[in-house]
């Protein structure tokens, strides 16, 4: 009875993590190197992914796609997961590492793993809804991350830094431009639209290969009990809580599935950059990104399977 659902679930999560695994194997065998990872990451986040978001959102009928209640719920969910993460992080020693732990709990890899999972699960519509939610959550994550890292680093919280990070973020810029294009029905010339689609198709596969290539399995052996706590909260409890909240409020099965897949996604790589820039424990940050990425391969599959068994995804 459950075999077709299980196979369908693996058809969603399997290709994502197979590409991550291929990236890891290619890096371990020397087929690709650190230079490839750096260049491909810059290409993805500065060009391919913004183009994917622009071509996706600009073609939408926003009045039919955007549900204000969903946006409000996503913001509320990000705040609740942030506060719960902070409570759990208050037990971490030394105190200076608490900001790193808190950020690793709530900040998800929306732009790569999250979008890829939603696109695989629900096609173009899933990608479109996830892209819009990503805009809201990215802003919230930036504000929350700078605040908590500043708090535990005993530095002054800088709204200027937060605003600059948001304004200069290529993904946010692409989403805003695409939203304007969709609202005002600005037609794209066919040659630009086709070129944009080609670039957009590169985004997720290239990003997933880069994610795998950047992984270091040694960090799994070095992870301790506190890291296990991060895994349980980040990849099981918090996304499960978000999914239950969405079910309780009567959101559609597709919407519940999208929210779960976004919040169950592993810790974002951007969190490492922010920790390093603010003088935090960069080694710890990298370690937690790796272990949540590996754990999410299993919890995303299991969670989506359970939601589908009970008709909620």
What residues does each domain of the chain span? 3-309
User: At residue 250, what are phi and psi to the nearest 5 degrees?
Assistant: 85, 20
Mean pLDDT of the region 84-94: 82
Residue 89 has pLDDT above 70, yes or no: yes
Quote the percentage of the chain above a pLDDT of 70: 91
Look at residue 59 in the predicted model and tell me its pLDDT: 84
Q: Is the dihedral of CA 308, 294, 92, 75 positive or negative?
A: negative
pLDDT band at 34, cuts 50/70/90?
Answer: confident
Quick check: 220 pLDDT over 60?
Answer: no
Cβ partners under 8 Å of residue 60, min gap 6:
128, 182
Are the C-beta atoms of 236 and 88 separated by less than 8 Å?
no
**pLDDT score at 273:** 65
User: How confident is the model at residue 38, as a pLDDT?
Assistant: 83
How far is the C-alpha of 10 from the C-alpha of 170, rounded, in Å? 32
Calculate the CA 234 to chain-centre distance: 12
Q: Quickly state the pLDDT bin for 145 (edges 50, 70, 90).
A: confident
What's the mean per-residue pLDDT of the chain?
85
pLDDT above 70 for 251: yes
Specify the higher pLDDT residue, 141 or 230.
141
Q: What's residue 166's pLDDT?
A: 77
Class (C level, CATH) for 3-309: mainly alpha
Q: What is the pLDDT of residues 45-80, one digit of tens each?
A: 889 989 999 998 888 887 777 789 999 999 999 999
pLDDT of residue 157: 64
- pTM, entire model: 0.89
Radius of gyration of the chain (CA): 19
Provide the pLDDT for residue 133: 94
**pLDDT value at residue 282:** 67
Assign 155 to helix, strand or coil.
coil
Q: What is the rounded average pLDDT of the residues 307-312? A: 92
- Is residue 146 within 8 Å of residue 158, measured between CB atoms? yes
The rounded distance, in Å, linking the Cα atoms of 130 and 50 is 14
Question: What backbone phi and psi angles, to 5 degrees, belong to 140?
Answer: -60, -45
Q: Is 108 helix (H, G, I), strand (E, B) or coil?
A: strand
The secondary structure of residue 312, as a DSSP letter, is -
Share of the chain above pLDDT 90, in %: 27
Residue 77: which of 268, 276, 244 has the closest Cα? 244
- Containing H/E element for 125? helix 115-152
Across residues 81-107, what is the average pLDDT? 83
Residue 193: count of CB within 10 angstroms of its CB: 13
At 301, is the pLDDT very low, low, confident or very high (cuts 50, 70, 90)?
very high
């Amino acid at each position: 009875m459950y075999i077709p659902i299980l196979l369908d679930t693996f058809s969603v999560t399997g290709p994502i993590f197979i590409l991550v695994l291929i990236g890891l194997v290619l890096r371990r065998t020397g087929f690709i190197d650190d230079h490839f990872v750096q260049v491909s990451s810059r290409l993805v986040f500065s060009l391919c992914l913004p183009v994917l978001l622009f071509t996706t959102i600009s073609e939408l009928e926003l009045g039919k796609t955007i549900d204000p209640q969903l946006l409000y719920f996503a913001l509320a969910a990000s705040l609740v997961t942030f506060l719960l993460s902070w409570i759990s992080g208050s037990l971490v020693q030394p105190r200076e590492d608490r900001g790193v732990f808190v950020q690793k709990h709530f900040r998800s890899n929306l732009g790569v793993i999250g979008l890829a999972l939603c696109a695989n699960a629900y096609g173009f519509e899933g990608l479109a809804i996830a892209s819009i939610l990503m805009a809201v959550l990215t802003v919230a994550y930036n504000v929350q991350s700078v605040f908590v890292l500043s708090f535990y680093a005993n530095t002054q919280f800088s709204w200027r830094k937060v605003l600059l990070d948001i304004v200069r973020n290529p993904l946010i810029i692409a989403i805003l431009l695409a939203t304007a294009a969709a609202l005002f029905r600005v037609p794209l010339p066919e040659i630009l639209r086709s070129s944009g689609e080609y670039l957009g198709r590169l985004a997720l596969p290239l990003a997933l290969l880069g994610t795998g290539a950047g992984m270091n399995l040694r960090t799994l052996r070095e992870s301790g009990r506190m890291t296990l706590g991060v895994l349980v909260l980040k990849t099981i409890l918090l996304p499960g809580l978000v999914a239950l909240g969405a079910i309780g409020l009567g959101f559609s099965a597709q919407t519940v599935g999208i929210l779960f897949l976004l919040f169950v996604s592993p810790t974002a790589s951007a969190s490492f950059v922010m920790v390093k820039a603010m003088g935090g424990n960069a080694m710890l940050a990298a370690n937690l990104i790796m272990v949540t990425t590996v754990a999410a391969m299993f919890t995303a599959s299991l969670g989506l399977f359970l939601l589908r068994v009970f008709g909620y995804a």
